[in-house]
Amino acid sequence: MAAKIVVVGSFNTDLVSYMQRMPRPGETVHGDTFMTGAGGKGSNQAVAAARLGADVTFIGRLGKDVFANLAYEIWDAEGINSDYVVQDEESATGVAPIFVDSAGENMIVVVLGANSRVQSSDIDAARERIAAADVLVVQLEINTDMVTYALQVAKEVGIRTILNPAPAAPIPRETIQLADYLTPNETELESLSGGPVSDVAAAARSLMTREEQTVVVTMGAQGAQVVSRDRTDPLPTFKVDVVDTTGAGDAFNGALAVALAEGKSLQDAVRFANATAALCVTKAGAAGSAPHRADVDALLAASE
């Protein structure tokens, strides 16, 4: 049976400019190409999970505008259940102007719009769906109190939770406590642990509020470190030609949710997520660059 994943989070229309190098403040540079695409960390994670074969439900808010059409188009195309998505009367669909340089690195500005108007009633409406799921995933592009609420509901109905604390923002310890898996990148780890990090495992452990929590620190080209109370496993990733790193963390989180829901061991789940993120960076775009299951399985098989 397919893994059942619920993602509570953001959708943004990504307005992506590709350029040789980023402009400095006050400078104008020429871009090479421009692309409009489906983005938003939550929706990207939902798309990644769906392409890996999961049965995915997305909960979030859009505006009543032309950008909302892009969201429904991709969710329909990927077979994602959007029955619980609300079109907000008062706010526009989120947008994210993105710059990507020739090394594939990005700079992103997110204008959250309707994403920041998700209500507890939106989550309550999907309570049965959440109860029937294996894993719930949240990120920080909706209001923190709704992140907390979604995690609370997941814990009440007894399913596992992944909190991807992205983009970096302060979050209360009570919110972290509700996460079974916390998945910061290095910048987010610094922000959550309160300063520069010299020891990743120690910083990750400083965030744990209960025994069974796991922190999976994503480290770009270096893969990920899986940190539990008494164990640290560095898991290297796959060497690929980088085109665009946008959405790699999202692909990682979508894949981690699927692998855990399928009952893979934590180490195998992170290997699976590493492979998914590695394939994601070989293509331009965010949601659109998430790989399909067969390609991830092939990459993993080739590395055995």
Nearer to ligand RIB, 204 or 248 (CB): 248
Nearer to ligand RIB, 112 or 130 (CB): 112
Residue nearest to ligand RIB (CB): 39
- 58-90 burial, b for 16+ CB within 10 Å, e for fewer? bbbbbbebebbebbeebbeebebbbebbbebee
- Residues near 288 by Cβ (< 8 Å), separated by ≥ 6? 37, 38, 74
Nearer to ligand RIB, 14 or 55 (CB): 14
For residue 231, the minimal CB distance to ligand RIB (Å) is 28
Helices 248-261 + 41-51 axis angle, to 10: 50
Which stretches of the chain bind ligand RIB, using CB under 6 A? 10, 12, 14, 39-41, 44, 96, 108, 110, 141, 246-247, 249-250, 286
Peptide bond into 167 cis (omega under 30): yes
CB 11 within 8 A of CB 38: yes
CB 95 within 8 A of CB 113: yes
Strands 160-163 and 181-182: parallel
For residue 210, the minimal CB distance to ligand RIB (Å) is 28
CA count, 13 A, side-chain hemisphere, 239? 1
Nearer to ligand RIB, 101 or 268 (CB): 101
Q: How many CB atoms lie within 10 A of CB 280?
A: 31
Nearer to ligand RIB, 159 or 182 (CB): 182
250, 268, 295, 297: the active-site residue: 250
Please give the helix or strand (H or E) that residue 248 lies within, else none: helix 248-261
For residue 110, the minimal CB distance to ligand RIB (Å) is 5
Q: Which residue has the tokens 């959405």?
A: 247
Please say if 55 is a catalytic residue: no
Which residues are part of the catalytic machinery? 250
